[in-house]
Amino acid sequence: MSIPHSELPFYVRPMQLADVPAVMAIEHTAFSLPWPESAYRHEITQNELAYYYVLGFRSPAAPQPAHPSSWWRRIRGRLRQETEPPREVILGYGGFWMMVDEAHISTLAIRQDVRGRGLGEFLLLGLLDEARRLGAQLATLEVRVSNTVARALYTKYGFRETGRRIAYYHDNNEDAILMTTPAFTVGNYWQMIEAHRAALMARLTQQLQEGWQVA
């Protein structure tokens, strides 16, 4: 059965305080130097330059078993199955700081058991879309030298190395690579973004058609 792109169950929405526990569960598996919970609470309630988002998955409605022994169901004749509303699952999160016309991506993480499926790319696209909507002209970030998977994704989306912070990460004194996109309005940069988006939507659609189950 074909799944239209517009009907994919993945989406990016603003992070809320109620999301912080789920965010922290991912944070502690994604980073060797995790932020404390208080940092996220501060970012989304007090930092006017901060914009944080979650990658959500809306599971399909599931049948709820009837309970024939329930007296009120028998009286009301409600022995038929009912349907539970769709359930939201947070699969990742990310955010950036808006500094004049620059969006500095401060974090991006995906739940460990669903990595390698294109969801980090989906989330990055969401962040770039929001940054552009808010008036950013380009995006920047820092990434560990050893994080080759993330570096490959960022390079795919036009980020280029512009500098290095020596011994930036305190857990192992690893360097951070500074990466920057071209200006969003220069040349065919955003046309490249849209081409990658179309390919990703097709990939996610195919995975779902092949029976990929997200728990």
CATH number for position 168: 3.40.630.30
Considering the domain boundaries, does residue 166 fall inside one? Answer: yes
Considering the domain boundaries, does residue 136 fall inside one? Answer: yes
Summarize pLDDT for 52-82 with one digit per residue, the tens. Answer: 999 999 976 544 444 444 443 443 444 444 4
Higher pLDDT, 208 or 66: 208
Considering the domain boundaries, does residue 123 fall inside one? Answer: yes
> How high is the pLDDT of residue 114?
96
Domain count, the chain: 1
Summarize pLDDT for 89-148 with one digit per residue, the tens. Answer: 999 999 999 999 999 999 999 999 999 999 999 999 999 999 999 999 999 999 999 999
Considering the domain boundaries, does residue 1 fall inside one? Answer: no
> How high is the pLDDT of residue 60?
65
Predicted TM-score (pTM) of the model is: 0.86
Considering the domain boundaries, does residue 61 fall inside one? Answer: yes
Tokens of 66: 């009837």
Considering the domain boundaries, does residue 105 fall inside one? Answer: yes
Considering the domain boundaries, does residue 71 fall inside one? Answer: no
Considering the domain boundaries, does residue 73 fall inside one? Answer: no
Place of tokens 């909507």: 133
Summarize pLDDT for 143-183 with one digit per residue, the tens. Answer: 999 999 999 999 999 999 999 999 999 989 999 999 999 99
Q: H-helix or E-strand containing 206? A: helix 189-209
Name the amino acid, one letter, at 160. Answer: R
Query: Closest by alpha carbon to 55, among 97, 21, 9?
Result: 9
> How high is the pLDDT of residue 3?
42
> How high is the pLDDT of residue 59?
77
> How high is the pLDDT of residue 104?
98
Print burial letters for 95-120: b (CB count within 10 Å at least 16), e (below 16). Answer: bbbbeeebbbbbbbbbbeebeebbbb
Provide the domain limits for residue 204: 7-66+79-209
Summarize pLDDT for 16-41 with one digit per residue, the tens. Answer: 999 999 999 999 999 999 999 999 99
Higher pLDDT, 83 or 161: 161
Query: Closest by alpha carbon to 138, among 178, 183, 97?
Result: 183
> How high is the pLDDT of residue 76?
40
Are 61 and 81 in contact by the 8 Å Cβ rule? The answer is no
Q: Is 211 left (phi over 0), alpha (psi -120 to 50) or beta?
A: left
3-state SS, residue 62: coil
> How high is the pLDDT of residue 48?
96
